[in-house]
Amino acid sequence: MIPEDHPRYEPLRRRELIADGATAGLVAMEGVAAHGRGETFDYLIGEVTIPSAALAEEMAAAVICTAERPVISVNGNTAALAASAIGDLQRASGAAVEVNLFHRTEKRMQLITSRLEDAGVNVLSGTAERFIPLSHDRALCLPDGIFAADVVLVPLEDGDRCEALKKMGKTVITIDLNPLSRTSQTADVTIVDELTRALPQITEFCREGNRDRFTTLLREYDNKEILRDALITIKNVIDRALD
């Protein structure tokens, strides 16, 4: 149990959620490693939502709220860290939620679905088919879910699937603390922020539903600038430490 007055309460709490998720079989062992990588990059951006990430979060809301068939793709880490935040975003945006795993087993699919449903998420069900142009089980998705989606939010995604979704003509939004990852570099909207900070912000922007602002963003948003700003932020954090 982490004391709430611990100066690093939030990151330690997230680490605990990932560890508990791994023990329960929700989070893949590889997901534990992925979380550690995320923590490193979070440290390097100062463990805050940087302004360019806030802009990307607003853009994500604009893209999701103006989409025909938006889908939020949920993996083990996302379910362990943010099941109820996914429910809030679903209610604010009307997006469908599909469980889509890299390390796919029937048992993990069921555990993650139950965790989401317990948190009030309406999870798509059905028979997954090999629609995504990838070898292995990462190709599997639902005909009425990711396959039919025009916009897919894929937090903590692996680069291959992000590229494959793009090849299928989808607009891809990702949340990834590593601005250098293949996913970050390939997605249409890259939110370089920690998942549990990013999701409530996107939800809030969806609730506000400022259509004029959405139109401006959809016209002017430049993801390259967002990535560049994240890298400059990291450089500045390091420069300050060297001073």
List residues binding ligand PTJ (CB under 6 A): 28, 30-31, 34-35, 37-38, 41, 75-77, 81, 101-103, 156-158, 175-178, 181, 194-195
Q: What count of other Cβ atoms lies within 10 Å of the Cβ of residue 241?
A: 7
Q: Which residue is nearest to ligand PTJ (CB)?
A: 38
Bridge pairing between strands 70-74 and 140-141: unpaired
CB of 1 to ligand PTJ, least distance (A): 21
Interacting residues of 234 by C-beta distance below 8 A, sequence separation 6+? 41, 44, 45, 179
Minimum CB distance to ligand PTJ smaller for 185 or for 210: 185
Residue ranges of the alpha helices (H) in the chain? 9-24, 29-44, 51-65, 76-93, 106-118, 159-167, 182-186, 195-208, 211-220, 223-242
Q: Please tell me what DSSP assigns to residue 148.
A: G
CB of 241 to ligand PTJ, least distance (A): 20
Minimum CB distance to ligand PTJ smaller for 13 or for 69: 13
Output the CA angle 90-93-97, nearest 5 degrees: 35
CB of 193 to ligand PTJ, least distance (A): 7
CB of 190 to ligand PTJ, least distance (A): 11
Q: What is the CA radius of gyration of the chain?
A: 17
CB of 183 to ligand PTJ, least distance (A): 7
Minimum CB distance to ligand PTJ smaller for 154 or for 214: 154
For 140, phi then psi, to 5°, come to -75, 130
Extract the tokens encoding 146: 């990711």
Minimum CB distance to ligand PTJ smaller for 164 or for 214: 164
Output the CA angle 231-72-49, nearest 5 degrees: 30
